[in-house]
């Protein structure tokens, strides 16, 4: 016997008001954004709480609202439902199967300069009705965003990925050594890490990249002499370009020149070094929106894994202006 589905006891309008309150942090702020009275917003949230039988937020006078654990759990689901409702409305308006709605994309900050441009341009070309925004952050912040439903998908490294995260592989790459021009090992195609162990090292101090670097060093049986710690990829490259040390990086910009125009030398690592997978990830806790599913179909097609004569994996990217490489 077929089961008859029951209509929910809450409304999409109540979900919209709740999400707006959560995003603005205050009842008043939500009311201003929705162009309705604060009392109407407060009443809708209270009715939603009553319908669900849980407290979603704590109201503190002069301090706005704070979501409870139940509120945090509902927020991502509510956003996904509102996205789906918007897509249903677009179909009803005659758009047919065109994908619309919003997509919030996160990207690990050192991957962003080389991965985001081809991803965003290709996806915009294939799905022009989707409104895409992005944020750059570290690995933990990206996974927090996925868990809270603030991000639909995120591009990150396959390092310390949390349980409850779904993913697909975009491409693979390998760490490389970065040397200043004129370094004594400049003529060597593949450098042994122990040959650099006594020299000053410039660390990209951004988890999980930093932990991965030290894991490689432990496998090679060396302890790097850390002279500087930098939070940004280009800062590391600039310090190496100035001759202040050597470094080991995963991402390689197209140009081997620093912002100052100084040359840096990229050399392969002779020691056994594992490949690093770059993933597109999303939370299993929140059903992906139609836009997120479309992005997951597009993203792998942007990157094509190839190999060079030195066995370094690169991600080839086809763009409007010809072929570029995310290395």
pLDDT, tens digit (0-9, with 9 covering 90-100), for 71-115: 888 888 888 788 777 666 655 544 456 787 889 999 999 899 989
In tens, the pLDDT along 73-83 reads 888 888 878 87
Contacts from 183-187 at CB under 8 Å and sequence distance 24+? 183/246, 183/265, 185/267, 186/265
For the chain, give every residue range classified as CATH 1.10.10.10. Answer: 1-95
Chain-wide mean pLDDT for the chain?
84
Domain 175-269 is in which class? alpha beta
Q: How far is CA 66 from the centre of its chain?
A: 25
Q: Which fold has domain 99-170+276-302?
A: D-Maltodextrin-Binding Protein; domain 2 (3.40.190)
Q: Where in the chain is the domain with CATH 3.40.190.10?
A: 99-170+276-302, 175-269
The per-residue pLDDT for range 36-60, each reduced to its tens digit, is 888 888 898 999 989 888 999 988 7
With bands split at pLDDT 50, 70 and 90, how would you rate the model's confidence at 149?
A: confident
Q: How far apart are CA 298 and CA 228, in angstroms?
A: 39
Fold assignment, 1-95: Arc Repressor Mutant, subunit A (1.10.10)
Whether the pLDDT of residue 282 is over 60: the answer is yes
Best CA proximity match to 294, nearest among 123, 156, 151: 123
- CA 297 to chain centroid, in Å, comes to 16
State residue 91's pLDDT score. Answer: 53
pLDDT at res. 303 = 85
- Residue 178 predicted with pLDDT over 70: yes
CA distance 31 to 23: 12
């Amino acid at each position: 016997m077929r089961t008859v589905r029951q209509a929910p006891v809450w409304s999409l309008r109540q979900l919209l008001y709740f999400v707006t309150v959560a995003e603005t942090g205050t009842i008043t702020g939500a009311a201003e954004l929705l162009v309705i009275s604060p009392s109407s917003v407060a009443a809708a949230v209270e009715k939603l709480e009553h319908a669900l039988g849980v407290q979603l937020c704590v109201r503190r006078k002069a301090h706005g609202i704070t979501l409870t654990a139940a509120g945090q759990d509902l927020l991502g689901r509510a956003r996904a439902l509102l996205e789906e409702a918007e897509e249903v409305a677009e179909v009803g308006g005659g758009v047919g199967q065109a994908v619309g709605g919003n997509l919030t994309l996160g990207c690990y900050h050192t991957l962003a300069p080389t991965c985001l441009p081809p991803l965003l341009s290709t996806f915009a070309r294939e799905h022009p009705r989707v409104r895409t925004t992005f944020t750059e952050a570290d690995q933990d912040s990206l996974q927090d965003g996925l868990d809270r439903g603030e991000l639909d998908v995120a591009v990150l490294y396959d390092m310390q990925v949390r349980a409850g995260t779904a993913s697909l592989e975009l491409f693979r790459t390998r760490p490389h050594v970065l040397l200043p021009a004129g370094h004594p090992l400049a003529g060597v195609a593949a450098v042994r890490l122990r040959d650099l162990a006594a020299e000053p090292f410039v660390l990209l101090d951004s988890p999980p990249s930093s932990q991965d670097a030290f894991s490689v060093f432990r496998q090679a049986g060396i302890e790097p002499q850390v002279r500087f710690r930098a939070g940004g990829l280009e800062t590391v490259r600039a310090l190496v370009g100035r001759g202040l040390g050597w470094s080991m990086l995963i991402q390689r910009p197209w140009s081997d020149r620093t912002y100052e125009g100084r040359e840096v030398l990229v050399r392969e690592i002779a020691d056994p070094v594992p490949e690093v997978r770059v993933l597109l990830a999303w939370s299993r806790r929140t059903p992906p929106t139609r836009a997120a599913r479309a992005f997951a179909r597009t993203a792998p097609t942007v990157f094509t894994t190839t190999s060079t004569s030195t066995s370094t994996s690169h991600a080839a990217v086809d763009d409007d202006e010809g072929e570029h490489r995310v290395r």
